Structure formats: structure tokens, C-alpha cells
Structure 1
Amino acid sequence: MLDIGFWELALIAVLALLVLGPERLPSAIRSVSQLIRSVKQTANNLKSELNHELRVSELHEQLKQAEAKGMQNLTSAEKKAVSELEEAARSVNASIQPQNNPAESNSNQTKENKE
């Protein structure tokens, strides 16, 4: 990544010790390490979002190709894309549908039994 050798790193450490002093150097090192950690985390999050968006775009293109063929004579990649999209649609529909409370279902069952 960076082309810094041992001697360059040692020179930076000595300069930091001279400029900041022994009292402030540990807190400065902690601050720099937290900054580097947050930059790495942001870069990893951005990378995963880009990969996700590329996958969505790829699935969208494959779905367009499948629709253009009339959903017949699909390649294996197109079939896989369609099945992934169907599974995603099922999971979204399942999470959207209201969940019955156990108390409501018991009261509905007792009402049906009385009738």
C-alpha cells in the first residue's frame, strides 16, 4: 500500500515524539488508529454496497433477457436469476403480511367452534 520502510517509520516516530512530547503521543496514536479503522470500515461498507448493487443490476439484466424470451428456453443463469427474484419476492411478501396474534387466533377458533 504505502512504500514506507523501517527507517522512514522510525524517523516519523522520532519526529512525533519531539513535536508532541511523551504526554500527548499515546493519545495521538490512539486517534490516528481510530481514524484508520473508521476509514477501513467505511471502505469495506462501500465495497459491499457496490457488490450488492452490481449483483442487483446483473439480476435485473438477466430478468430482462428472460422476459424478452417470453420466459421460455431460458439459460441456466436466467433461470437462476428468476428463481432468486421469486425467492426474494416471497420473503418480502411473508414479512409484509400481518402476523396473527396467538390470542386472536384462539378467540377466532372458539368463535368458529361455537357456531
Structure 2
Amino acid sequence: MFDIGFWELVLISVVGLVVLGPERLPVAIRTVSQWIGAARNMANSVKDELAQELKIQELQANLKKAEQMGMKDIAPELQESVDELKKVASDVQRPYADKSEQPSATTSNKQE
């Protein structure tokens, strides 16, 4: 990030020792390092979120493209993704379909 060499660090340390004194210098170094760590963590989390959003947008664009092509002549990896999404969607819907069928069977028994 910053191009700081050995002699620059020595100069900063000497100036910090003279200005802050030997009692407060370690506390100041810890505080500055915590701020730098927090800034790095925040930058990394923002970068990760942006990468996820870009992947989601790319997937949505590929799905729209596949829909426009009528799901014909699409790339094999895209076809695998579509098949996997269909399978997951059917697995998600299956428990709800089973639950909706059970009450109708019990109500038909009550009517008889």
C-alpha cells in the first residue's frame, strides 16, 4: 500500500519516541495497528461483496440469455447450472406439495 522502507520506519519510530515518550508509544502503536486492521477488514469485506454481486449479475445475464435462446444451443456448463437449479427448485417445492396433499386426505376422510 505505502512504500515505506526500513530507514523511514526508523525515523518514524525515533520521532514517535521523542514526541510520545516511552510510556505512551506502545499504546499508540497498538491503536494505530488496530485502525489499520479495521480498515483492511472493511476494504476486504467490500471487495468480497462486490465480487459476489458481479457473479450474481453474470449468472442473471446468462439465464436471461438462455431464456431468449429458448434453452437451445447453450454452453454445457450453463446447461448443467440450469439443470441443477431446476432440481433444487423441485426439491424445495416437494415438501410443500406433500404437506398440501396430507390435509386434503384427512378432510376427505372426515367428509365420508
User: Which position in structure 2 is the counterpart of 1:59?
Assistant: 59
Output aligned runs, 1:84-99, within 5 Å.
Answer: 85-86=85-86, 89=89, 93=92
User: Which position in structure 1 is the counterpart of 2:39?
Assistant: 39
Once the two structures are overlaid, the 10-residue window that deviates more, 80-89 or 63-72, is 80-89
**What CA distance in whole angstroms lies between the structure 2 residues aligned with 1:80 and 1:25?**
59
Report the alpha carbon displacement of residue 44 of structure 1 after superposing the two structures with TM: 1.1
Matched, 1:20 2:20: yes
**What CA distance in whole angstroms lies between the structure 2 residues aligned with 1:44 and 1:50?**
10
Which stretches in structure 1 are left out of the alignment for 5+ residues?
A: 101-115
Count of aligned residue pairs for this structure pair: 95
Higher helix content, 1 or 2: 2
Q: Which has the higher contact order (CA 8 A, sep 6+)?
A: 1
Q: Alpha carbons of 1:88 and 1:52: their partners in 2 closer, same or farther (altered >3 Å)?
A: farther
TM-score between both structures, scaled by the size of structure 2: 0.72
Query: What's the C-alpha RMSD, in Å, of the aligned pairs?
Result: 2.4
Report the alpha carbon displacement of residue 82 of structure 1 after superposing the two structures with TM: 2.3
Secondary structure of 1:2's aligned partner: coil
Which stretches in structure 2 are left out of the alignment for 5+ residues?
A: 100-112
**What CA distance in whole angstroms lies between the structure 2 residues aligned with 1:49 and 1:79?**
26
User: Which position in structure 2 is the counterpart of 1:71?
Assistant: 71
**What CA distance in whole angstroms lies between the structure 2 residues aligned with 1:49 and 1:73?**
32
How many percent identity over aligned positions? 48
The one-letter code of the counterpart of 1:29 is I
